[in-house]
Amino acid sequence: MNILEAAKIHKSYGNKFNKQEVLKGIDLSIDKGEFVGIMGASGSGKTTLLNVLSSIDKVSEGSIVINGSEMTSLKEKHLAQFRKSHLGFIFQEYNLLDTLTVKENILLPLSITKTPRKEAEERFRVLGEELGIYEIKDKYPNEISGGQKQRTSAARAFIHEPSIIFADEPTGALDSKSASDLLNKLADLNQERKATIAMVTHDPTAASFCSRVIFIKDGQIYTQLVKGEQSRQSFFKDIIKTQAVLGGVQYEHE
């Protein structure tokens, strides 16, 4: 079952005298429970793609359907409501509120949806324990490590059980151990909760945790890899090889 279906996605910036076309007719679908990586060189359009899929930015042309709702035709008020209920976000820079504790930051999406207090507390307990941050629930963001901040950000993205979670370079600001811890937790949540995740990354190690990796080049899908039954180490090697070929193709055109 498709959670996300994008058809003929175009995104341009500027005006008719100075127009830059970043996305050039992308077709993409993501199934429920998939953990999809999006990779590409700097300037390839991967972050722009994530931004339009997640409704942070608007498409110039094309259709995006998430959980049966056509995003591109929703009015701003309805789009904001849909975003609160159906979408989760994990950003590279955490985007936590410094004046709130870890627990308060995580519970923010549930306070907006008016989830009953008892249910909210139980969801927080389970998720906090799964992500290894329950013990620091009363600390503030300036009192915890980068890895703990990003796991707090991940918990906030998962807490309202959205249709899909968008992650933009979630390991970009983390050291290798914290990055590995986060990716293992995301992979566990993906498996155990059947959570759907779309993650932009430049890091082949991070991408190797995904079930499928889509490679973007010059605003179009260049190729994709499916992990299948192979080990993460084997998938990592395939990703590295594809990156090398992708780099070679780029140099041939320069």
pLDDT level of residue 67 (50, 70, 90 thresholds): very high
Amino acid identity of 57?
D
Distance from the first to the final alpha carbon of the chain: 40
Quick one: pLDDT at residue 254? 28
Q: Does 8 map to a domain? A: yes
Q: Which among 124, 121, 120 is positioned nearest to 110, based on CA atoms?
A: 120
Asked if residue 251 has pLDDT above 60, the reply is no
Task: Supply the range of the domain harboring residue 200.
Answer: 2-95+146-153+161-246
Among 6-10, 82-86, 243-247, the least confident range: 243-247
Here the contacts of 203-206 (C-beta below 8 Å, separation 24 or greater) are 203/171, 203/172, 203/179, 204/39, 204/236, 204/239, 204/240, 204/243, 205/179, 205/180, 205/236, 206/37, 206/170, 206/171, 206/179
Q: Are 138 and 102 in contact (CB under 8 A)?
A: yes
Number of domains the chain contains: 1
Q: Does 81 map to a domain? A: yes
Quick one: pLDDT at residue 250? 39
pLDDT level of residue 247 (50, 70, 90 thresholds): confident
User: The tokens of 98 are what?
Assistant: 């410094």
φ/ψ of 148, rounded to 5, equals -65, -35
Quick one: pLDDT at residue 42? 86
Contacts of 117 (CB under 8 A, 6+ apart): none
Quick one: pLDDT at residue 253? 28
Q: Which among 203, 88, 201, 93 is positioned nearest to 146, based on CA atoms?
A: 93
Look over the chain and give the mean of its residue pLDDT values, rounded to a whole number: 93
Here the CATH number for the domain that contains residue 181 is 3.40.50.300
Q: Does 134 map to a domain? A: no
Query: At 220, which helix (H) or strand (E)?
Result: strand 220-226
Q: Does 55 map to a domain? A: yes
Q: Does 19 map to a domain? A: yes
pTM (2 decimals)? 0.92
Asked if residue 233 has pLDDT above 60, the reply is yes
Q: Does 77 map to a domain? A: yes
Distance between CA atoms of 154 and 99, rounded to whole angstroms? 18
Q: Does 50 map to a domain? A: yes
Distance between CA atoms of 234 and 76, rounded to whole angstroms? 44
Q: Does 139 map to a domain? A: no
